[in-house]
Structures are given as structure tokens and as C-alpha cells.
Amino acid sequence: MGRRRKEPTRTARPHRFGVYLEWRQGDLTEGSVRLDPGTTKNGEGRVAYCSPELLAVLRAQKAAARELEREKGIIIPRVFHRKGKRILRFAASWRTACRLAGVPGRLFHDLRRTAVRNMVRAGIPERVAMQISGHKTRSVFERYNIVSEADLKDAARKIAAHYQVAATPGTHLPKLAPLLDRRLEQGERSI
């Protein structure tokens, strides 16, 4: 969802991992999560909708939490907890999870960058991706939307495919290579 690490912790302990998401903020029927105004970095609330996979994980987490509530006779308001108790330290667990996943040294914030890149690569309009990730300005959003070498290669393939289709027999478009060769022979520096 592109949530910042500290969201929605602003009113609680902003220097801690954002493990304060509460069940009241989620609608598991609709598949949405609401970040309340005043709890995000930019102070604005927003709603994000879950993928089917994430929704299944959240539903399983809720079922496990309800079972633990029945067993212990407690109320578990938070989505993320340790045996019903608030998570106080997350760093060691994060490092262990990354090591076990085969990606040691990853930062939690890397997920935010990945979320932005994935939304853009999936064709989600940038304005919508900015709304989901909470970016107010395009300049900050672009810092997360990093262009890779694979992106550049993909762009070259798309351009080639475009011109191949445009120059199919029966069209009235000139062949590009002879045109470029002629201009270069005439000493033109720009096309």
C-alpha cells in the first residue's frame, strides 16, 4: 500500500515502527484500510484498498487475533501484535525476516519505494499512486519512482515495436534509417 514506516504512529510514538494499525481502521468486507487524519506524515487521512492476497492475510490475522482473544479473555485492538501485546521493538525481527527471505540488509523503507515503482509499472496513473502513497508533490514522488536499466531497455523495445508497426507495408510513412542517413550526409547535426 505504500504506507510510510511511521504511519499511523504520529499520535503515539512516531519514532517506532508503524505497528499501531487498529482493526477499527480496516474494513475486511470492503477490503480497505483507513489512515486517520493527523496520523500520517502529511497530516492528511487516506484510504487504501487491499489486493486479494493482502486481504486474505488480514482476514487470517483477524481470525487468529479473535481466537487469541477468546483463549486469553483479552481484547486485541491492533492488527500487528505479539501474543496480544503491543510490539515495542521491531528492528531485530525485521533483520531476521530479511535474512530468512534471502534479502539481508533491506530497509523497511525499501518497501515504500518498491510500492511506488510497482504501482507505476502496473500502469496505475501517477496521481492515483501519489494518493495511495501519500505523496503531495510530484517531485517527492519521483524520488521514489526510480528508473532502472531494465526500464530503459524496455523503453527501447517499445519504441522499436512502435516504429516497426508504423512502417508496415501499405503505410505512407517514410523509412527512418534512409532519412537519418541522408540528413547525416548533408551535415545536419539535429534531426
pLDDT of residue 59: 97
pLDDT along the chain (191 residues), means of 10: 50 46 94 90 88 95 96 95 88 91 91 89 91 87 83 85 68 56 62 52
pLDDT of residue 83: 92
pLDDT of residue 52: 95
Q: Which three cell numbers stand for residue 9?
A: 504512529
Look at the pTM and tell me if it is higher than 0.85: no
Which position has the grid cell 489486493? 51
CA angle 87–29–23, rounded 5-degree value: 20
Q: 113-138 burial string, b = 16+ CB within 10 Å, else e? A: bebbbebbeeeeeeeebbbbbbbeee
- Give the separation between CA 25 and CA 51, rounded to whole angstroms: 16
pLDDT of residue 17: 38
Which position has the grid cell 487491499? 50
pLDDT of residue 159: 87
pLDDT of residue 12: 41
